[in-house]
Amino acid sequence: MNLPNKLTLLRICMIPFFVVLARLPGFGCQAAAVAIYVAACLTDTLDGRIARSRNLVTNFGKFMDPIADKLLVMSAMIVLTAQHRMPDWVCILMLAREFLVSGFRLVAVENGRIIAAGPLGKLKTVFQMISTIALMLLTAADGEPPLGPGGAVFANVLMYIAMVLTVVSGADYIWRNRDCISDM
């Protein structure tokens, strides 16, 4: 197993630690959760760059990297929704897109195709990661004092940008690969 694929698996292994710490009260636990989440997000950048620069792109990486990203971001969105830092309808919309695209990928695999993420999908993932970090850092969880309106507004603007990119990139993904479903 090459280094990029190991980084992808490491990202998946970091998720339970992030979730447990994010659900615990106290500044120390929250800070540790954010640190783990940021480190996991950085492995996404690293594994792709290493894979491309060293010609280590594999079908495993093309398939598992987006799944690892989805698991990480979905976990953060669910935690944020449970803490009332993210509206439930935004979380549901973003999760629906991820399930739709994942299902589409499975159909493609059955037809012998592995479809790598496109530029819009990568931009969507970056905005989802940045917005979830901003929501964790700049908004108050249940029972916590407000952190100030400016930070929360900024975090919410990033979240809505991520939401729009999520919908647009999902539609673009399906449109570009519509030939995978020949019996539509």
Banded model confidence at residue 102, pLDDT cuts 50, 70, 90: confident
In this structure, the number of other CB atoms found within 10 A of the CB of residue 17 comes to: 14
| Domain spans of the chain, in order of start | 3-180
**Structural contact between residues 4 and 56, judged by C-beta atoms closer than 8 angstroms:** yes
For 3-180, give the CATH class. Answer: mainly alpha
pLDDT one-digit tens code per residue, 49-82: 998 899 988 888 877 888 899 999 999 999 999 9
Cβ contacts of 28 within 8 Å, gap of 6 or more: none
pLDDT one-digit tens code per residue, 166-182: 999 999 988 888 887 76
